[in-house]
Chain A
Amino acid sequence: DSGVTQTPKHLITATGQRVTLRCSPRSGDLSVYWYQQSLDQGLQFLIQYYNGEERAKGNILERFSAQQFPDLHSELNLSSLELGDSALYFCASSVGQGRDTEAFFGQGTRLTVV
C-alpha cells in the first residue's frame, strides 16, 4: 500500500458527461501529480500541484481541470467526456517538489466512457 488513496476505483459514464476523480496524498506529502495511462498514449503527465498551487502543466485538455484543497487532497474534473478519454488515471504524491523526491502512486481510477 503506497498510502495514496484514489476514489472511485472504477467509473463508467456516458459521452458528454462530467466526472470528478479524487486523490488523497500520503500523510505529509505536499505535491500531487495526475497522470493518464491509455493504450495509445502510454503514461502522460497531466498536472502538478504543490501545497495548493499549480506548479506544472502537461498535456492536459481544456476540458479537464484540477485543484488541490487546503487539506491537500486533490480532485481532477473531466467534462464533456469523449470515448477517447477512457483511460486509467493515476494520482501520485511526493514530499516536496524537488527532482530527487520519490513519487508514490495510488491504485488509479479506471474510467470507461461509453
Chain B
Amino acid sequence: AQKITQTQPGMFVQEKEAVTLDCTYDTSDPSYGLFWYKQPSSGEMIFLIYQGSYDQQNATEGRYSLNFQKARKSANLVISASQLGDSAMYFCAMREGVTGGGNKLTFGTGTQLKVEL
C-alpha cells in the first residue's frame, strides 16, 4: 500500500505566485515525521521543511510552509512568491520507526514544479 501519495506529477506556476504541492500519508504509528525535499536537475536532495506528528503549529521555513492537517493525513507544501530557481522535483517523505529501533524515510513519487515568467 502506498504510504506517501503525491497526486500531482507536474505543476506550473507563474513567478511570484504561491503554489501548493499536495501530499497525503498513511500510517498507524502515532509518532512520525513528515519532510519535504527539493531535487533540482543537478540531482542533489535538499531538505526544505519538517513537521512532527505532535507539533501543534504548522512548520515554516522562509518561503516554505507546511499545511499539516492531521485528521486528513495531509501535509501539503506551500511555496510563496515562487522564483525561477524553485523549478525542481519536490518529494514528500515520512519517517517511521522500524523493528529494532531504527527508522527510515518513505518517499512519494514526487511533483515536478515548473516556474514560468
Contacts and interface: CB of A to CB of B under 8 A. Distances in A.
Interface of A: 2, 33, 35, 42-43, 45, 48, 50, 54-56, 58, 88, 90, 92, 97-108, 110
B7 interface: no
A99 B103 contact: yes
Given A56-B103, A105-B37, A2 B98 contact: no
Interface SS majority for chain B: strand
Q: How large is the interface on B (under 10, 10 to 19, 20 to 34, 35 or more residues)?
A: 20 to 34
Given A92-B105, A103-B95, A104-B47, 13 more contacts: A2-B46, A43-B93, A45-B104, A45-B105, A55-B101, A56-B103, A101-B33, A102-B47, A105-B37, A105-B47, A106-B44, A108-B44, A108-B45
A42 B96 contact: no
Given A102-B50, A103-B47, A104-B47, A33 B104 contact: yes
B90 interface: no
A25 to B, nearest CB: 14
Nearest to B95: A99
B106 interface: yes
B8 to A, nearest CB: 15
A102 B36 CA distance: 10
Contact of B45 (A42, A45, A90, A100): A90
Contacts of A56: 98, 100, 102-104
Interface string B55-76: 0000000000000000000000
A44 B47 CA distance: 17
B43 interface: yes
A100 B103 CA distance: 10
A99 B44 contact: no
A99 B50 contact: no
Contacts of B93: 43
23 contacts: A2-B46, A2-B47, A33-B104, A42-B107, A42-B109, A43-B107, A45-B104, A45-B106, A48-B102, A48-B104, A56-B100, A56-B104, A92-B45, A99-B31, A99-B95, A99-B103, A100-B33, A100-B95, A101-B33, A102-B35, A103-B105, A105-B37, A105-B44
